[in-house]
Amino acid sequence: MPDALPRPEPFISRTTPAALEDLRARLRATRWPDTPQDAGWSLGTDLAYLRELVAYWADGFDWGAQEAALSRLPRFRVPVGGLGIHFVHARATAPAGPVLPLVLSHGWPDSFWRYQKVVPLLTDPGAHGADPADAFDVVVPDMPGYGYSDRPTGPPLDSVAVAGLWAELMRILGYPRFGAAGGDIGGHVSRYLSLDHPDRVVAVHRTDAGVPVLTGDPADLEPEERAWIERVTAWGRDEGAYAAMHRTKPQTPAFGLNDSPAGLAAWIVEKLRAWSDCEGDIERRFTKDEILTNLTIYWLTSTIGSSMRMYHANAAIPPAQHARRVEVPSGFSLFPGDILRPPRAWLERTTNLVRVTEPAGGGHFAPFEVPELYAEELRAFFRPYRTAMTG
């Protein structure tokens, strides 16, 4: 007789008053650095903006209200691969046809937070002006070391290993076949899900192709591919210092970022601004409450160090893994404000490309920045694969 599957248990996060008071005390005691006059964001996080944000975090932000809002999502935890995994599991409401299960994988620097706005749009499209036949069962896990999932106590897990956990999670939830979608590190996880479990993943959607790893002869590339790789190299030189630190010595910044909420905010807020379609005004895409909800999850769960260590693990993935071509039907939505947007030739080279679009707005955090656009992208891409899950 096969072993019984573990049973997911409902989960609600509850923060103690002492934890919040400690956070506020640390924020009020921030020792601020100096900054050159008129530096703005040119050298990193803007001092004036961060002072304003930290003051609000200390004395205006209502974490209790945000925590209660997050708890209105159907959240659970279940042991998978020896780790407690936290996830949202929202079932389709009033579907008008076959329901496609969909696992959404986040990236850094966030958690299930990235997808909170799209969950109702995907589970109940009819209530949001879309076709009820496009309803999904939605699963949004926190990767190990992020959010409310356990932090690995041994070596950090790479995207290949996390993909294996997600395949097992979907088995536990009773989904033999499903769609996968993600961006950033979550795009890598979705890729490996489709590579290692092609009999279960009916189609895969991504918002980027990650940093290119070339294993063949550069002379075989199309001109637009070579130009793109040159742009990626330049971006890494000018903007990639954070990733170099994460890949090589993630434990060093973890000491400061896990001890100082202002430091944590500086590390993350600069990326929210730089990678979003905000035209330099971060609050064009994220309210202070939204930014601070993301930051407070990181602070209360002490996951900034464990989240960064995943870069170190991914840097050790063998080149042969990067050389594998995705044969599962693949789609890409390349949002205009995102970083490292790949050319079609690269997508055709590395995947069984069936659809690529360029939506009108949004950036690296598209599910949060432009949830309606992102939800419509997923509905349109997965529409032809709804009946395939039963095959």
Question: For residues 228 and 143, what is the distance between their CA atoms, to the nearest angstrom?
Answer: 29
Residue 388: the pLDDT is: 67
Query: Is residue 1, in this structure, part of any structural domain at all?
Result: no
The two tokens of residue 129 are 């002006």
- Establish if 95 belongs to a structural domain: yes
CA 168/CA 339 separation, integer angstroms: 31
Q: Which two tokens stand for residue 331?
A: 């789609």
Distance of alpha carbon 372 from alpha carbon 261, whole angstroms? 32
Other C-beta atoms lying within 10 Å of the C-beta of residue 154: 6
- Side by side, the strands of the sheet bearing 9-10 are 9-10, 75-80, 83-90, 136-141, 100-105, 178-182, 201-206, 326-333, 351-357
Task: Report how far Cα 354 is from the mean position of its chain's Cα atoms.
Answer: 23
CA 164 from centre of chain:
17
C-beta neighbour count of 77 within 10 angstroms: 19
**Domain containing 131: what range?**
9-390
Which sequence positions are flagged as catalytic?
184, 311, 364
Using CA atoms, how far apart are residues 46 and 40, in angstroms rounded to an integer? 5
Radius of gyration from C-alpha coordinates of the chain: 20
Does any domain span residue 3?
A: no
Output the pLDDT for position 201.
98
Please give the Cα distance from 253 to 143 (Å, whole number): 20
Q: What's the CA gap between 51 and 32, in Å, rounded? A: 8
- What CATH number does the domain containing 107 carry? 3.40.50.1820
Burial call 137-150: b when 16+ CB within 10 Å, e when fewer: bbbbbbbbbbbbbb
* CA 265 – CA 295 distance, rounded (Å): 7
CB-side neighbour CA atoms (13 Å) of 296: 28
Residue 15 in domain: yes
Omega before 155 within 30 of 0, i.e. cis: no
Tokens of 264: 């944590």
Structural tokens at position 346: 């690269």
Going 333 to 339 to 340 to 343, the CA torsion angle's sign is positive
In total, how many domains does the chain have?
Answer: 1
Instruction: Assign residue 358 a region (left: φ > 0; alpha: ψ between -120 and 50; beta: otherwise).
Output: beta
Q: What is the predicted pLDDT for the residue at 217?
A: 84
Q: What is the pLDDT along the chain (391 residues), one digit of tens a residue?
A: 467 899 999 999 999 999 999 999 999 999 999 999 999 999 999 999 999 999 999 999 999 999 999 999 999 999 999 999 999 999 999 888 899 999 999 999 999 999 999 999 999 999 999 999 999 999 999 999 999 999 999 999 999 999 999 999 999 999 999 999 999 999 999 999 999 999 999 999 999 999 988 887 888 899 999 999 999 999 999 999 999 999 999 999 999 999 999 999 999 999 999 999 999 999 999 999 999 999 999 999 999 999 999 999 999 999 999 999 999 999 999 999 999 999 999 999 999 999 999 999 999 999 999 999 999 999 999 999 998 654 4
Name the DSSP class of 7: -
pLDDT the model gives residue 382: 98
Handedness of CA 340, 346, 352, 355 (dihedral sign): positive
Tokens encoding 126:
């009819």
